[in-house]
Amino acid sequence: MIRRLKHILILALLLCANSAAQTRKERAWQILEAGAGSKNFSSRAVAVRVLGLLPADAHALAMAEKALQDEESSVRIAAATALGQIGAKRAVPKLQASLNDPDIAVILAAAHALTALGDEFGDRGILRSRFQQFQPAFADRHHHEFYLLRCDGFFRRDAEP
Residue 18 lies in a domain: no
Give me the CATH number covering residue 62: 1.25.10.10
Residues 58 and 29 in one domain: yes
Distance CA 37, CA 102 (A): 23
Residues 105 and 131 in one domain: no
Residue 97 lies in a domain: yes
Residue 17 lies in a domain: no
Residues 130 and 77 in one domain: no
| DSSP helix, strand, coil percent of the chain (3-state; round to 5) | 75, 0, 25
Residue 157 lies in a domain: yes
What is the residue-level pLDDT of the chain in tens, covering all 161 positions? Answer: 666 545 455 655 555 555 555 688 888 888 889 989 989 998 899 999 999 999 889 999 999 999 999 999 999 999 999 999 999 889 999 998 998 898 888 988 888 888 888 876 554 555 666 666 665 555 455 555 555 555 444 444 444 44
CA dist 27 to 22, 24, 33, 34, 52, Å?
9, 5, 10, 10, 18
Distance CA 30, CA 51 (A): 13
Q: How many domains does the chain have?
A: 2
- Which domain range does residue 84 map to? 24-121
Distance CA 99, CA 105 (A): 10
Residues 36 and 111 in one domain: yes
Vertex 153: Cα angle to 151 and 155 (nearest 5): 105
- Please state the pTM of the whole predicted model: 0.69
